[in-house]
Amino acid sequence: MLRRVELFEHETMEVGRSLRPDPEARLGAQDFEALVKFNDDTGQRFFRVGHQRITACQFVGYVEVGELAIEILPKADRDAKADAAPWRAGMLEMLHAATGLRFEHPTESSQTAGRSTLLHVVIARFLEEVETLAHQGLARGYRSEEQNGPVFRGKLLLQQQLRENLARDDRFFVRTTTYDRDIVVNRILRAALDALQTLRIDATAARRAAQCADAFATVTRGRVNGSDFDRLRLGRSTARYHDALLLARMILERRAPELRSGRAPVFALLFDMNVLWERYVAALFRKAAGRRFTVRTQEGRGFWRAAGSTERTVRPDIVVESEDGSVVLIADTKWKLVREGVPSDDDLKQMFVYNELFGSARSLLIYPTGGASKTREGGFTGRKHTCSTAHLGVLEGARWSAKHLEQQIVRLIG
């Protein structure tokens, strides 16, 4: 039986120790070895490995190994006994900002039944999109196919005909054009539906996936890789596929065969918290700015050039401009807890450069906090521009609150 466990980022699991919230769940030696191999195969980005222990890094999401379904959640305080629910809600809010997809928050009953992990939320959203597409009618398109057979239909390929059928006047090497549903976007969705059959999902989701697959009965099965997604160009008839394809990519790219180790398969759906926090805060800045200001993200500005060398640039996370185009505020987001609220020298030097190059009088380093929001003013010696720190309170009471965060950002913009 698959056991669901919760882990906060930077928290450690030890082989043989009981896990939360199921005290009967434990990380086995085989599970540990599979996670270590998975981590090695993916550049050692996701975990820090010690002797019979493994610690989550800044990636959050879902990892399935052996009989364990591990949900790794974000956390912006040092309370080891914190309730997981608000941090799970926050993760889904940030995923919405990062991907444009709206995920339903898990209900209390689904959490009790163990169906509230990120994987199950993503699968439910994917099936919802596919069901809608099937109800609307799957897109059709033209595709070319080469055949060597007894029927002459389409265009005769003379070179292939001479090579393959020189002594056979009863066969024809032809290229035909067909207009049907067996096109790339439908093949990708079919591949993702097939992938769900390899995962341990609840009976309701499995039944929905099987019903969806019936609509793809005439669509060719096959392997899908990242280049298939990169080459996609959605037109008027396939624009409605956007969300379903994004979810399909999440499912397919996290189940590559090389992420398997021995008899303990690993399935991982993980996201970098630094990226999620950056995009989430940027989205809140845009909302808080209204029509008074323009918010730009990752806007590059050159700071060094030399003959025969590529120009070096800097890219602040957020630039806020007034109506006349002048920069009123620059911000960088940092998903980390800083000791005594004091930023690192490297972060301060980075903000100094931003102020100088963009001509900004104010800059902000923005951190999360599970407690009350607070700001700390600071200035650069010999300069008129400043850099302050802002710790945004992500919780209002015991709940994640986007509205509470937006109100804090309105005050920061001024």
> Among 214-218, 309-313, 404-408, whose mean pLDDT is lowest?
309-313
What domains can you pick out in the chain, each with its CATH number? Answer: 3-134+244-272 (no CATH), 141-180 (no CATH), 290-413 (3.40.1350)
More reliable by pLDDT, 385 or 230: 385
Query: What pLDDT does residue 147 have?
Result: 81
pLDDT tens-digit readout, 337-388: 887 778 999 999 999 999 999 999 999 999 999 999 999 999 999 999 999 9
Give the pLDDT score at 106: 54
pLDDT tens for each residue of 324-338: 999 999 999 999 988
Question: What's residue 266's pLDDT?
Answer: 77
Whether the predicted pLDDT of 258 surpasses 50: no
pLDDT at position 153 is 80
Taking only the tens place, the pLDDT of each residue in 166-192 is: 888 888 888 878 888 999 999 999 999
* pLDDT tens digits, one per residue of 31-51: 999 999 989 988 899 999 999
**Is the per-residue pLDDT at 113 higher than 70?**
no
pLDDT digits (tens, 9 = 90+) for 289-323: 988 999 999 988 998 999 888 899 999 999 999 99
Residue 265: band (very low, low, confident or very high) from pLDDT cuts 50, 70, 90 = low
Mean pLDDT of 221-225: 85
Q: Tell whether the model's pLDDT for residue 110 goes beyond 90.
A: no
Give yes or no for residue 264 having a pLDDT over 80.
no
Mean pLDDT (the chain, rounded): 88
255 pLDDT band, cuts 50/70/90, is low
Residue 18 near residue 24, CB atoms below 8 Å: yes
pLDDT of res. 262 = 42
User: How confident is the model over 251-265, as a mean pLDDT?
Assistant: 54
Check pLDDT > 70 for residue 20: yes
pTM: 0.81
User: For 70-90, what is the mean pLDDT?
Assistant: 87
pLDDT band at 66 (very low <50, low <70, confident <90, very high): confident
pLDDT at 261 over 80: no
Average pLDDT score over residue span 269-297: 94
Look at residue 108 and tell me whether its pLDDT is greater than 80: no
